[in-house]
Amino acid sequence: MANPSKAKKFNTYLQLFNPIEFPFTLHSDAHHDFSKSNKSIHPDLIKDYITPYIGKNEDEYTEYIPCFLLDEQKNYIAVVVWKAGLKEYEYYVLTYNNAGDVIHHQVIGGMKSDGEKVISRIAIIDDEKSIHMVEGELKDQETDYDPLKTKEYSFVLNEEGYLSLEH
């Protein structure tokens, strides 16, 4: 059986990502809804379109879930992928050119723990171009975030397909 063409394979990958309505918040449990409503990503598609860019430190417990199509323009296509591993998960925006080559990737939400502290990131997506991320830290046995340790980031998806940090 012949391998599907690169364009057909990339189109198969993109079909896993459905558009959403904005505004939208990516919180700690949002991936459950995506895993129920979206098809899983075939290992060959993960190998071609995800792990070369965000698959560092991957192990047998790493999981990927297609979340949604963020934006599609003449020069790029932007999707959101959930990546989970031991003691961490992250939401990534990946942008690709029309040939399926990655342009840019950026973490926009998630959670990481080193066993002593937990870093939590929540993304508020206003529209296909504007993403706000709030990052907070909890230490072991704490129940509230320290507002002095909370950071805010704003990203804008530009016309070249790069998610740039706004100041």
Domain count of the fold of the chain: 1
Kindly state whether residue 30 falls inside one of the protein's structural domains: yes
Structural domain of residue 48, as residue ranges? 6-166
* Nearest residue to 85 via CA among 111, 116, 106: 111
Q: Is the pLDDT of residue 124 over 90?
A: yes
Note whether residue 1 is domain-resident. Answer: no
Q: Is residue 27 part of a domain?
A: yes
The DSSP annotation for 34-66 comes to HHHHSPPPPHHHHHHHTHHHH-TT--TT-EEEE
Residue 72 placed within a domain: yes
- How far out from the chain centre does Cα 131 lie? 12
Supply angle C-alpha 56, 153, 103, rounded to 5: 45
In this structure, is residue 132 part of a structural domain?
yes
pTM over 0.75: yes
pLDDT class of 2 with cuts at 50, 70, 90: very low
Tell me the pLDDT tens digit for each residue of 97-112.
Answer: 999 999 999 999 999 9
Note the pLDDT tens digit of each residue in 62-86: 999 999 999 999 999 999 999 998 8
- Residue with the larger pLDDT of the pair 26 and 87: 26
